[in-house]
Amino acid sequence: MTATPANTSELKPQGTMFIGAEPVTGTGTGIRSRNPNTGDELDPAYPTASPADVARACRLAEEAFDAYRTTHPWQRARFLERIAHHLTEAGDALVERARLETGLPTARLAGEVARTTGQLRMFAKVLCEGSWHGARIDPAQPERSPQPRPDIRQRRIPLGPVAVFGASNFPLAFSVLGGDTASALAAGCPVVVKAHEAHLGTSELAARAIRAAITDSGMPSGVFSLLVGEGHDTGTRLVADPHIQAVGFTGSRTAGRALIRAAAERPAPIPVYAEMSSINPVILLPGALAERPRALADAFTESLALGAGQFCTNPGLVIAVEGNGLDAFEARAADNIDNNSGATMLTPRIAESYRLATETVSDRPRVRVLARGGVPATASAGQALLLTVDGDDLCADPELQHEMFGAASLLVRCRDLNHVAEVLHALEGQLTATVHTADADLDDARALLPLLERRAGRVLFNNWPTGVEVGHAMVHGGPHPATSDARTTSVGSLAIDRFLRPVAYQNLPDTLLPPPLQDDNPYSIPRRIDGTLTLN
């Protein structure tokens, strides 16, 4: 192990991209991230990638693919652990740079480093456990009549180089070395990341961690590139590159749809895993509202305002039946929002989008403003906002379902539980759906469950949707427009499935079979033999 101790110059962003894990200075216009508090541009400038840079990153990824995917899974596990190691080493510098670029608080960012290294280590364990191979063996039946059955074996192989677009709101856990990259690398796919323009320095520092891990582990350098680009051009070119075989994206619906279109228009279309927009309905059942209206309001406004409301799972819609409980909840929630001092959002542009989105929704006929928070004196100020509307109006006006990415929520008043169900029926697909209950509500909750699970990727009881555990059972996904592919998750160990496809091998001699399918099970992995699952 030749862990390169990071020297001081390595901890300062230099304005480079990485192509085939080598630092490269682009030749395009230099772009800069901004300090969202002051609005000032930050040093250094990042000259952007040329079309040739994009093509070269993708070609190197393709050239590295076969060597990388045929490494022993334990080697890839070690590689992921080394990335985690170097991320941890760079922790303070990463947190400091991310704080400058995103305005997120230090403690939150430190937590994000832990989450990012945690998910890399989780995938290392997944690689060793081996279920991800999807190994299946149907042994030959030479005596079968009327025709003998040949030996057929199945495993999953990685799709190929993956393009990753990081999210603005998790500069570490959902960005350069975030969940998409970790799961793609685990699957055996090289990764080409387009850096998020809002945190270029953080992206560069993270890229250095993987570069060091590539050196430590002797992995082919083409497994990782980081490209810098302005606007949609670089991203569209990346998705259109013939070597790219899948796309992971987290961001706006508009940007997501543009990438989906680019992927569909290729001569050979590829899957796009785009997480786009969700307003995460929270249903407050009558018993819960009667029992603890103010506690619910406090927990709700805390979840709503967390991180300036910049979570994909932010509770942007609250649905409840009218009555004293709801009145008490509303009064307390409105008070809390009134007293909220606001927060700096991730970028001036995101703050502006948020302002426009809240304006659009507030201006819809029949929407009433219940409370507005304060506005901090920063360049990217976000003002908390609580609106209300009647259930019938929500059903009638699809504009009211548009995500306001930030600390804004719409309280939907319903006549009764049937009305609640009607509103749920009218909703688009969501990442999460939450129900708050008291004991008396259990039967009502049971009746709503089939509806909730059809609308969302995760159903919560008496919890708040912000806070996404990285584990084996997590689903961070859901029906359109929450994501472009509800059959998967972008958080948790199941995310590796997105980058694999099954291949069957018929009548191959044992010596030519890939190790997961050889008779003596050299990887000691779970396999399905003639339909029966065997542990190892």
Neighbours of 509 (CB within 10 A): 7
Helix or strand run (H / E) with residue 420: helix 417-426
Asked if 188 touches its own copies (CB under 8 A), the answer is no
Q: Which is nearer to its own copies, 72 or 446 (CB)?
A: 446
Whether 251 and 219 have beta carbons less than 8 Å apart is answered as no
Largest CA distance in the chain: 81
Q: How far apart are CA 200 and CA 347, in angstroms?
A: 13
**Site size toward its own copies, by CB under 8 A:** 79
Which residue, 342 or 481, is less far from its own copies as judged by CB? Answer: 481
Using a 10 angstrom Cβ sphere, with 0-12 exposed, 13-18 middle and 19 or more buried, the burial of residue 258 is middle
Looking at 40, 366, 461, 524, which residue binds its own copies (CB under 8 A)?
A: 461
Active-site residue identified among 10, 312, 403, 414: 312
Q: Which of 103, 391, 477, 516 binds its own copies (CB under 8 A)?
A: 477
State which of positions 485-524 bind its own copies (CB under 8 A). Answer: 485-489, 493-494, 500-509, 511-512
CA distance 242 to 498: 19
Measured from the CB atom, the residue of 80 and 137 that comes closer to its own copies is 137
**Residue 530 binds to its own copies (criterion: CB under 8 A):** yes
Q: Return the residue of 6, 11, 55, 152 that touches its own copies, per CB under 8 A.
A: 152
Residue (of 279, 433, 281, 305) closest to 361 by Cα position: 279
Quick one: 3 or 442, whose CB is closer to its own copies? 442
**8 A C-beta contact, residue 273 and residue 180:** yes
**CA nearest to 234, candidates 265, 290, 189, 196:** 196
Instruction: Supply the angle between the helices 106-129 and 73-89 in degrees, to the nearest 10.
Output: 170
- In the residue annotation, 414 being an active-site residue is answered as no
Is 471 a binding residue for its own copies by CB under 8 A? The answer is: yes
Please list the residues that pair with 157 across neighbouring strands: 501
- Residue choice 248, 293, 342, 481 for contact with its own copies (CB under 8 A): 481
Residue 429 makes contact with its own copies by CB under 8 A: yes
Contacting its own copies within 259-298 (CB under 8 A): 260, 264, 268-269, 271
Catalytic residue among 275, 330, 403, 414: 275
| Chain center to CA of 327 | 36
> Least distance (Å) from its own copies to the CB of residue 467?
8
Q: Are the C-beta atoms of residues 16 and 204 closer than 8 Å to each other?
A: yes
469 near its own copies, judged by CB under 8 A: yes
Classify residue 457 as left (phi > 0), alpha (psi -120 to 50) or beta: alpha
Q: Does position 531 bind its own copies by CB under 8 A? A: yes
Determine if 147 is a binding residue for its own copies (CB under 8 A): yes
The answer to whether residue 312 is catalytic is yes
CA 382/CA 301 separation, integer angstroms: 15
Contact characters 60-89, its own copies, x per CB under 8 A: ------x---x-------------------
- Binding map of its own copies across residues 25-64, x = CB under 8 A, - = no contact: ----------------------------------------
Q: How many CA atoms lie within 13 A of 498 on its CB side?
A: 37
> Which residues does the annotation mark as catalytic?
275, 312
